[in-house]
Copies of this chain bind each other. A is one copy, B any other.
């Protein structure tokens, strides 16, 4: 097994070549990798069955087994994903701005790859192919560190990608898998700042917290979403019910799902019974403050902790407020800076919410479920950033690039 240091060096070396690949060469390679995934489908399924068997023996929950399991359809979807990425416009080489300075220097700002991207993720093996495709399309080398449950599947998928790269005449070190899935190796990877330019963790709050805490490499934090919907005193009730229903129940386990409701006191008596009816029909438990519980005896009393919880489950918290200011204070206190929405017909309240909520995506009269690279028109998504540096919100291909200044002179010296 290769050392981590060796993997870092190989990736760094590969990144120099990848940065210079033309769009046509990259797209050809992505298509070859897609074909290789289909070609090697049997081997991938076989490896995946080993992973599933071992995980079952280790007592892994069936919901996680489902995320781990591959089928011919899922492998086809992975291959289709590579082809979709090949069809996206390539951001590399774009000159974002170019100016002529008073002294005759021409200064341009050009989009270039980040270099080497490290990805640490959990059980889904499809992330292996996805992450490779996005990093490769943007001229980056990628070092992958997936979960132990999926290690055999990941090895088989990476072998297929290597076959595709080889056929396209591209260095296979464009994607390197760390086969040692111990926690020590993950921690060591987080200190590999000589070789890795950016680290992107994808997974639960525990993983992301550990990376944030330990990494000496710049990190892009993705993911946790304690998203709010505030029903203003001037809300259209039907719209509010439709949006809450969609934002809470369309998918329970994703980061842009609504986890907490805030209701204006003036409409609470009329709105809350309708809300209960709607969400109860979908099996959603509502944990609410005293005032709401007084209106609807079916609610469970909420604790302080409820307001801070991303349930990812059939539960939602609820608080009644006396003003939009109180709503904004509450949301900014408990949100994870991901996505929050107001439902209102009032112009000033809509603008105020847009201005004062601190989150990656702030909605007026729409479901928080739209926070997503595809819904935002980016064509692909490497994750949703909840930090403020570099990228905020859904990250498309541009989030995997940086810029460099290119300066054209004819002998200028500084006075």
Interface residues of A (CB under 8 A from B): 16, 20, 99, 101, 105, 107, 114-115, 193, 197-198, 212-213, 216, 218-220, 236, 239, 242-243, 245-247, 250, 332, 354-356, 358-367, 369-371, 375-377, 387-390, 392-393, 402-414
Given contacts A212-B193, A414-B370, contact A376 B405 (CB under 8 A): yes
Given contacts A99-B377, A246-B414, contact A366 B403 (CB under 8 A): no
Q: Give the CA-CA distance A390 to B16 in the complex, in Å.
A: 21
Given contacts A16-B332, A402-B389, contact A364 B197 (CB under 8 A): no
B362 touches A242 (CB 8 A): no
Q: Give the CA-CA distance A114 to B390 in the complex, in Å.
A: 11
Copies in the complex: 2
Whole-angstrom distance from the CB of A175 to the nearest CB of chain B? 20
Interface of A is mostly: mixed
Partner of A377 from B101, B332, B412 at Cβ < 8 Å: B101
Partner of A392 from B245, B404, B411 at Cβ < 8 Å: B404
Q: Give the CA-CA distance A198 to B235 in the complex, in Å.
A: 37
Chain B neighbourhood of A375, CB < 8 A = 101, 414
B412 touches A370 (CB 8 A): yes
B360 touches A404 (CB 8 A): yes
Whole-angstrom distance from the CB of A356 to the nearest CB of chain B? 7
A242 touches B359 (CB 8 A): no
Given contacts A220-B389, A376-B107, A388-B114, contact A365 B409 (CB under 8 A): yes
A20 touches B360 (CB 8 A): no
Q: Give the CA-CA distance A39 to B322 in the complex, in Å.
A: 45
A404 touches B362 (CB 8 A): yes
Given contacts A413-B242, A413-B246, contact A361 B218 (CB under 8 A): no
The contact sample of 28 A-B pairs, CB cut-off 8 A, is A16-B332, A16-B356, A105-B370, A107-B377, A115-B358, A115-B388, A198-B388, A213-B216, A242-B413, A250-B414, A359-B404, A360-B404, A361-B404, A362-B404, A364-B407, A365-B409, A365-B410, A365-B411, A365-B412, A366-B407, A366-B409, A366-B412, A367-B412, A369-B413, A376-B405, A388-B402, A392-B404, A393-B405
